[in-house]
Chains A and B, each alone.
Chain A
Amino acid sequence: MDNLAAFIALVCLILPVIGEMWVRQRGRQSAICSHPAWAVLATTALLVSVVQIAVQSGSWPMVTVRGGLQTLALVVSGGWLILRTRERMEAAGVILLALVGWLTAASLVESPGAVAQSSVSPFFSMHLGLIFLGLGAFALSFALSALFLLQRRRLKNKNLSGIQELPALDTLDRLNFRTQGFGFVALTVGIAMGFFLAMETGSGRGLDGLTFWGTVSVWCWYAIGLQTRLMGGWRGKPAAVFGVVGFGGLSLILGLAALWAGGWHGV
């Protein structure tokens, strides 16, 4: 096992889910399975794993597919731990920790990957770091959007039992706007840095292919979403749909890139 810490993180994410299912099947409830300590453990293990990858490669962890997936998982789980300090945000964890689990599992399937010499420059690392920060923010926005749509549906259908377990609609909408805005700024700067990097090296590598155009499409999507919100007052449901569809598209592009294009920009 060359990546024990990530494996432990995955176990910390899967074990409480299996435990919860087992307990519920017996008609009981368990505070242990839903305890946030599991998420804290998983996040810590992911942090250890990411640091380990960085130390082993002598570069930023994001420059390999495995390191990139784990960094994204770390950003998302860390983001959720911050988010859950707000009232009634536990439900977002169901979506976000599932995503973290999926990213961690995918990273373990991937080979560690070799680091290209050109990828070790600090400028390149910042480019990747910002992109991953943006992606993490969009993942949080996705969870908030999904919760918004769920809560809205309950209120519209007068299904009022348990609505107080989730945050208020306007709170979800406001947080969604902030995370989308943060993600958009990070992604914009990250893309711009990548562009200048490609120009600087003179190779133009990375300015074509699925990942590049996919990322640009996602950027455009969120740009339209934020613009219509700021100028046209698109709040609530339209903003939430934008968040869900945007992240869905993003996941599809990254999945396709990992499967067919051989990693980021074909690296």
Chain B
Amino acid sequence: MVCDDRLIAVGISHHTANVEDRERIAVAPDLVPGILGRLRDDGFSSEAILLSTCNRTELYTVPGSRGDVDRLARFLAESGGVTDKSLADKIYKKRDQEALRHIFRVASSLDSLVLGEPQIVGQMKTALRLAQKSNAAGPMLHRVMDHALRVSKRVRTETDISREAVSVGRAGVELAKQVLGTLEGRSALLVGAGEHGKIVARALVDFGLDEIVVANRTFERAAALADMFNGSAIPLQEVDRYLPRVDIVLCSTGAGRNLISRDDVTAGLSKRRGRSLVMIDLAVPRNIDPSVNELSGVFRFDIDDLATFAGRGQAARRDAAQVAEGIVEEATELHWRQLMGEQVNRELGRIVHGAEQIRQSEVERILTVLEGLPADQRGAVEAMTRAIVKKVLHQPLRQVRDWAEQGDIGQAKTIFTAFGAEAEDDD
């Protein structure tokens, strides 16, 4: 079955799933190239981008010969190792213009947990870079992402949606201060080099944190990060040793499992002499055993808690969001037509190219039979066949352009199918 859709977005987000379900389907950056490669090799997509953040895992694709929306949704769940059907209802599926609108909304942080938050733009750029490295992003998705980033910029400059948007970093600072009172004289342990971890660590340092220790799987990376914060670096294996000493633990790795267990924390509690410990788990899947929150003096927060806390000012940004939705809607209409126009032009080009190839081979064959034909008459045959092809194609192609301009891609597809151009994939 050939898929009728031009653009598909399938995914799971904070709107449909809680953090436990999101982390089941989250994809670590080093696994993305493999997944995108499999999508292409299995014929599910001709172009694909995988966006996996703490709040969402989404697949944007131009479907291939075997790719339809249900298969892609199943593929996304299975790529995260989820084979049961419990997540099926939580994966949303969007097609064509609806998919484009969704991508624009995500880029403009209208779909974000914290309305107006700025991190999503960087995360989308990273997803595009990963797809480019894996040769998975073709012309269509390049254009889609390009438009999405432009729309995002327009939304942020023309509306107040980003004004006073409490960042995740600031939320982390405020929650830590709510337990510890002041950050002066306090120390933090940053485990991993994830984006959110760096943001919160930076905010903590800016708000007076005295000391920061960075642990990472790669020691060199830990040392580089520690330099950024005027801190010190330790190997990942030494995290346990630092738990009794620090006041704040930030975890933001892509390890995909618990790095700090309840036993690790319990072991260090007696040495803390009742001092409070704030543990902020920014990773999805989580890195800190959630049950540590039950321990006396330990306060554990995850990305959802930070977002909830940060989202308190959302009401004030909702008016701006309404204006932003208008911008997104207008841009979706405009860019979808542009994208379809470009797609139609590419396919029309294929039809014209195919017809020209047929003409050339037919002319070549007939001229072999009519050997010795004078050059002027050979030229006349060439001109005549060109004119025939042009005239035969003129009306259907013009009609296709008209349909495309009116946004009626379905009718145009009938013509493409008739000419055999539809089944081909972009390279």
* Chain A interface residues toward B at CB < 8 A: 151, 155-156, 158, 160-161, 163-164, 167-171, 174, 229, 232-238
Contacts and interface: CB of A to CB of B under 8 A. Distances in A.
B153 to A, nearest CB: 32
B297 A235 contact: yes
B353 interface: no
Contact of A171 (B181, B273, B275, B305): B181
Given A233-B274, A234-B274, A236-B274, A156 B179 contact: no
Given A233-B273, A236-B276, A163 B178 contact: yes
Contacts of B175: 160
Contacts of A160: 175, 305, 308-309
B346 interface: no
A202 B256 CA distance: 77
Interface in B145-189: 174-175, 177-182
A161 B312 contact: yes
Contacts of A169: 178-181, 276
B296 A168 contact: no
A158 B175 CA distance: 11
Nearest to B293: A156
B309 A170 contact: no
21 contacts: A151-B178, A155-B299, A156-B293, A156-B299, A158-B301, A160-B309, A164-B178, A168-B182, A170-B181, A171-B181, A174-B181, A229-B274, A233-B273, A233-B274, A234-B274, A235-B297, A236-B274, A236-B276, A237-B296, A238-B274, A238-B296
Nearest to B171: A160
B296 A155 contact: no
A161 B312 CA distance: 8
User: Which of A151, A160, A167, A171 has most chain B Cβ within 10 Å?
Assistant: A160
B44 to A, nearest CB: 39
A236 B301 CA distance: 19
Contacts of B179: 155, 168-170
A181 to B, nearest CB: 16
B6 to A, nearest CB: 42
Contacts of A151: 178
A147 to B, nearest CB: 13
A187 B94 CA distance: 72
A235 B269 CA distance: 12
A215 B297 CA distance: 31
A163 B309 CA distance: 10
B180 A168 contact: yes
Given A156-B299, A160-B305, A236-B297, A170 B274 contact: no
Contacts of A163: 178
A151 to B, nearest CB: 8
Interface of B is mostly: helix
Contacts of A171: 181
B312 A236 contact: no
Contacts of B182: 168
B172 to A, nearest CB: 12
Given A158-B305, A169-B276, A170-B276, A236 B296 contact: yes
Contacts of A229: 274
A67 to B, nearest CB: 39
A105 B174 CA distance: 41
A169 B278 CA distance: 12
Contacts of B301: 158
A159 to B, nearest CB: 10
A232 B272 CA distance: 11
A128 B179 CA distance: 38
A234 B272 CA distance: 10
Contacts of A167: 181
A153 to B, nearest CB: 11
A161 B314 CA distance: 13
Contacts of B297: 235-237
A48 to B, nearest CB: 37
B282 to A, nearest CB: 15
3 closest A-B pairs by CB: A233-B273, A235-B274, A168-B181
Contacts of B296: 236-238
B187 to A, nearest CB: 14
A184 B76 CA distance: 64
A167 B293 CA distance: 20
Interface string B236-279: 00000000000000000000000000000000000011111000
Contact of A170 (B174, B180, B312): B180
A229 B275 CA distance: 11
Contact of B273 (A156, A161, A235, A237): A235
Contacts of B312: 161
A182 B275 CA distance: 22
A27 B178 CA distance: 30
A26 B405 CA distance: 58
Nearest to B296: A237
Nearest to B174: A164
Interface in B166-215: 174-175, 177-182
Contacts of A155: 178-179, 299
Nearest to A166: B178
Interface string B285-305: 000000001001101010001
Nearest to B304: A158
A228 to B, nearest CB: 10
Nearest to B176: A168
Nearest to A171: B181
A143 to B, nearest CB: 18
Contact of B177 (A168, A234, A237): A168
A143 B275 CA distance: 21
A164 B175 CA distance: 9
B74 to A, nearest CB: 33
A157 to B, nearest CB: 9
A160 B301 CA distance: 11
Max count, chain B CB within 10 A of own CB: residue among A163, A170, A238? A170
